[in-house]
Amino acid sequence: MPFWIPGSYMIKEGGIEIDVSIPSSKTDALREKLWDFWKGYRKNKGAVFGLFFLTLVIFTALSADLITEFDPMEPGVGRPLQQPGRRFLMGTDDLARDIFSGVVYGARVSLVVGFSAALTATLIGVVIGSVSGYFGGITDDLLMKFCELFQSMPRFLFALVIVVFFGNTIWNVVVVIGIFSWPRIGRLVRSEFLHLRESEFVMAARGVGMSNVRIIFKQILPNALHVVLVTASLEVGVAIIIEAALSYLGAGDPNLMSWGRMLYNAQKFLRTSWWLAIFPGSAIFFTVLSLNLIGDGLNDALNPKLRRIRR
């Protein structure tokens, strides 16, 4: 155990034992919890790799201007369709734009869309799922019908049509993916609530006269948080793929260079210039893979019961 975890420690210094115990406080308890979480998480090697790679992608997105010297949208920085080489690490496209810059700046689009859309979906899903599961009865019936409605609509097609109708800005893409992605989280949260609302601590909270809103958010939700976190991390990956697919069909934001858009562009040159497709595609693949691996790791660390069943 590292030294910053509270507890009693003795060290020997020149033959004298010194008490270096760290008193525990509220922040220490949190730290200890985090440490326990990390101990569970790091057992999953894939999840550790995922976290490492995602951190790398986030870092790349944040410092894009420092990493590349070219603007990803600027044509004619070299010769068109140049092979990967020293000057252009990943080659150039038909308009002689630098592919490496595109991949680096594309990380911004994918991460912004992925995380914002997943956040939107999570917020909607948590509210609908918790209300539905907590109150039950006719509220539950109606909300679940609503959920079924959203699930039976092909999410990608709707997103495509809405983006085409209302304009293909990055924020429209975020909202649309968010609105059509909440049912999975909603259903999972609902089933957790159905189960937890019967537990003793909820009865006790009711007994002392706590309001429904407080019980939902302060009592039950923290206990259902692991489900939300795991599913949300998977939704980020799904949102990234949907955004890439929209851009691949030419319905992405025209002012931004994104991975999907680069693959759209690569389609015409598959025969001659493989590098147009390989690099942006790998970026999507490894980013989404990392997110899925992180989801697995979160599941292992937060939900030890489930892990035992799975194996």
Partner 1 sequence: MHTYIARRIAEAIPLILLVLVMNFLLLHMAPGDPVFLFIEGGSGTTEEYVAQVRKMLGLDKSLGEQLLIFITNVFKGDLGYSHYYQRPVFDIILERMPITFLLVFLSTFFAAVIGIALGVFAGRRPYSLIDRINTVVAVFGSAIPIFWFGQLLIIAFSIHIDIFPTGGIPTRALGGGGFMDWVRHLVLPVVSLGVVQLALVARITRANMLEVLGMDYIMNARAKGLSDRKVIFKHALRNAILPVITVISVNFAFQLTGAMITETVFSWPGLGRMMFESVFRRDYPVLLGLLIVMSVGVIIINLITDLLYAFLDPRVVYD
19: three-class secondary structure by DSSP: strand
Can you say whether the dihedral through the CA atoms of 215, 217, 222, 227 is positive or negative? positive
Query: Counting contacts by CB under 8 A, is residue 143 touching partner 1?
Result: no
Q: Which residue has the tokens 């939300």?
A: 228
CB of 19 to partner 1, least distance (A): 48
Query: Counting contacts by CB under 8 A, is residue 117 touching partner 1?
Result: no
Selected from 289, 302, 303, 307, the binder of partner 1 by CB under 8 A is 289
Query: Counting contacts by CB under 8 A, is residue 245 touching partner 1?
Result: yes
Query: Counting contacts by CB under 8 A, is residue 281 touching partner 1?
Result: yes
Return d(Cα 311, Cα 298) in angstroms, integer: 16
Query: Counting contacts by CB under 8 A, is residue 154 touching partner 1?
Result: yes
DSSP for 146-183, please give it: HHHHHHHS-HHHHHHHHHHHH---HHHHHHHHHHHHHH
Selected from 170, 288, 294, 298, the binder of partner 1 by CB under 8 A is 288
Query: Counting contacts by CB under 8 A, is residue 84 touching partner 1?
Result: no
DSSP for 38-58, please give it: HHHHTT-HHHHHHHHHHHHHH
Return d(Cα 263, Cα 280) in angstroms, integer: 7
CB closer to partner 1, 125 vs 130: 125
Q: What is the DSSP letter of 10?
A: E
Query: Counting contacts by CB under 8 A, is residue 221 touching partner 1?
Result: no
At 291, list the tokens: 């997110």
Query: Counting contacts by CB under 8 A, is residue 166 touching partner 1?
Result: yes
181 with 119: CB under 8 angstroms? no
CB closer to partner 1, 12 vs 305: 305
What is the binding site for partner 1 (CB under 8 A)? Answer: 46, 145, 148-149, 152-158, 160-162, 164-167, 237, 241, 244-245, 248-251, 260, 263, 266-267, 270-271, 274, 277-278, 281, 284-286, 288-289, 292-293, 310
